[in-house]
Amino acid sequence: MDRMLEGIEGSTKGLKDGLDPDNLAAWYDAIMGDAREMAPPWLHSKMRIRRDPVLTMKFTVDISKRAVGYFMTAADARMGQMPYSTRLYFLKVLEAMESEVDRWLV
């Protein structure tokens, strides 16, 4: 019984850690770094991530329409390295970006 409870505690701790605001910020930094490596230099200044100081799990992706593809490609490439809950978070971010791109195209 103790072994089963330890397993449940370990898996819930992993899910919680995956959504830690500092962990999310680190993933945003990694993704943005990859996106900047792929993007032409003139787009680098048009790609920013801002973290809300009060709501620490809220991030603002301030990115040019021309740079969105680079960000989405970089995020997709990093998905396999992320913990499960972090991956779900970034899948939702990419879904929101896709719907915004679709809205721009209409």
pLDDT tens, residue order, the chain (106 aa): 666 556 555 554 554 567 899 999 999 999 999 999 999 999 999 999 999 999 988 999 999 999 999 999 999 999 999 999 999 999 999 999 999 888 888 7
The predicted structure's pLDDT at residue 103: 86
**Rounded CA separation 31/53 (Å):** 21
- Residues of the chain by 3-state class (helix, strand, coil), percent to 5: 75, 10, 15
The predicted structure's pLDDT at residue 10: 54
The predicted structure's pLDDT at residue 62: 92
- Tell me if 104 sits within 8 A of 60, measured CB to CB: no
Q: Which residues pair with 2 in a beta bridge?
A: none
The predicted structure's pLDDT at residue 52: 93
The predicted structure's pLDDT at residue 18: 75
The predicted structure's pLDDT at residue 40: 95
Enumerate the domain spans of the chain.
2-105
